[in-house]
Every structure is written in C-alpha cells, then in structure tokens.
Amino acid sequence: MALTEVTGGGESGSSGPGTSAGSPPVLVAEHIRRNFGAVVAVADATLQLREGETLGLVGDNGAGKSTLLKILAGVLAPDGGHIVLDGHEVVLKGPRDALRAGIETVYQDLALVDTMSAAQNVFLGREVLHRSRLLRALNLVDSRQMRERSRQILDSLHVKVPSVRANVRQMSGGQRQSLAIARSVLWGRRIVILDEPTAALGVQESAQVLQLISRLKEHRVSVILVTHNMQHLVEVANRVTVMRLGRTVATRTISETTTEDIVGLITGAIRPDEEGPTSETDPLPSGPEIAHSSPSTVT
C-alpha cells in the first residue's frame, strides 16, 4: 500500500495546554475543493489539527464550514485537495472510513434516540453481542457490559447524567450534548468534530459542555470546534481557522489575537495573516508541501 509522507511543518503559534507545537499535526486538510454543479461550496480550504488541541473553525454562513466538515467526516468526497492523517495521505470513501481512522463527528441534531437509554445511545449501531454463544447466535446484546462501559466513559469525562439506564428524553440539553460528545470520544478516540455544540443551550448548559470540551485535552483528544459564539471560542480553543467565501483566510493563536480581529477576518474587514489574494479568485498561499504518491484508502 503506497503512502504519502508530509514533509512540511505545521503553522506557528502556541499550541496551548495538552498540545505539542513541535510535533507534526495529526490531521491536515490541504487545498480542499468541493463544487455542487456550478456552485462552489469550498474553493480552497486548508487546516491543521494537532494532538490534544481544540481548533476553532469559524466563518459566516455560506463560508463552507459545513461542507468541509462533511468532507473530513467522509460524508462528501472532495473534488480536489488532500487529507493527511499522521503524515500519510488517505482517501475517505465514506463515514465508516473516517470512523476507522478515529474521526467522529457530533452534528447539531446529536443523533440520539429519545426513547432509548443513555447506554443504548452510546452503543447505537455498535451494540455488543452477548458473550454466551447461544445468546450471541440469537443476536442478543450484552446490556450489562454496555451499561458498564458507558458508565466508565461518562465517569472518566465527568459527565453527569441521571443514570445510564435513564431515557434521553429525561435529560437536559446540556446532558444530551455531553452524552453525544462522550459517545464520540469512546468511538472516535483521536479526533472529534463538534458542529455548534452550544447553539441551542442556555448559559449553565453551555458551561457544562465547554468544561467537557476542555477536559478532552487531558485525554489527548483533538477537537475541531465549529461555533458562532466568540466567547465560547476563546474560552476553549487553542487556535482558530477562519473561512470566508469557501476559502481559508487565516489561522490565529487564540492567546495572540482578539475577538475583534477574528470578526474582522470573517467579514473581510481585515486582510489575511499572510500576504492575501488581490481578488476573490486569486489563490491563497499554499500549505505544507506534500510529496505526492498514491494515497491509501482507510480499511
């Protein structure tokens, strides 16, 4: 199987707690393009994600964030560009490929079933069959093992729910979001993509989710956080990548920038960090150089 090695370095800037600025990124998406017919959803998007960091991904509506996330999650195939995991270029042919690569996505709808328990939702679509050969042959699940493993992951992340036996409909919005994130950590383990995790939550519930995101650094989990809330962004993110009109225009270290600068980059009032394009159609500066060969398919 031919692999592609990344020879370029990462972006500069402080990596923050739980990250290593000198280590290569765990995920690189370079010059990603995606069209829907005549509509250009993503023209040139590049981002780098380091181990144990939270990378904010921001931009106005229509900037291409959701399309980029779906490409990283294997839902959409890019029309151009490269995705590199741990220094090797990969082709994600579907969501299962992304899951095998350790990438888990939590969308705004959470994909939870209200009438099922917390443990059943954690193992939804990944149910553990009973250890007994007879019961396994009858496709009966091991409910006790699923409850125990669910309790372990929830306790390790300090997620408070009424009970792993309780139905999701009995939980608050913050508890539901935390449950969905905990499930993603159990199955993704390495990279978690969060799409507007606090959009529909109140102040207290948002604080609960933000605390959980911060704790993921302790587990060396890398997070891509899509949000419109600048306060939440600066509270939990190490760096932020800004998209505008389908292009990546800047990546900033949170401790070295302001919310005013980020908003200015989103709206176009501030030029990109590096020498920017002279028009909307000019190419942006290239990211890390890749020595190209046949990409591998995640199996």
Segments of the chain assigned E as strands:
27-36, 39-49, 54-58, 80-85, 88-91, 103-106, 191-195, 222-226, 239-244, 247-253, 296-297
Q: Beta strands of 123-246 (E only): which ranges?
A: 191-195, 222-226, 239-244
Q: 222 vs 100, 156, 170, 172, 188, CA distance in Å?
A: 16, 17, 30, 26, 10
Q: What is the DSSP letter of 46?
A: E
Q: pLDDT value at position 22? A: 54
Q: Are 153 and 182 in contact (CB under 8 A)?
A: yes
Higher pLDDT: 217 or 281? It is 217
pLDDT in tens, 69-88: 999 999 999 999 999 999 89
Let me know: does 15 contact 299? Beta carbons within 8 Å.
Answer: no
In the prediction, which pLDDT does 295 show?
A: 54
**pLDDT score, position 200:** 79
Average pLDDT, the chain: 83
The band of 41, judged by pLDDT with boundaries at 50, 70 and 90, is very high
Q: Taking the CA atoms of 91, 97, 100 and 102 in sequence, report the sign of the dihedral they define.
A: positive
Q: What is the pLDDT of residues 46-67, one digit of tens each?
A: 999 999 999 999 999 999 999 9
pLDDT cut 90: percent of the chain above it: 49
The pLDDT confidence band at residue 188, using thresholds 50, 70 and 90, is: low
Q: Sketch the domain layout of the chain as residue ranges.
A: 27-102+190-297
Class of domain 27-102+190-297: alpha beta
Model pLDDT, residue 93: 92
* pLDDT value at 231 more than 90: yes
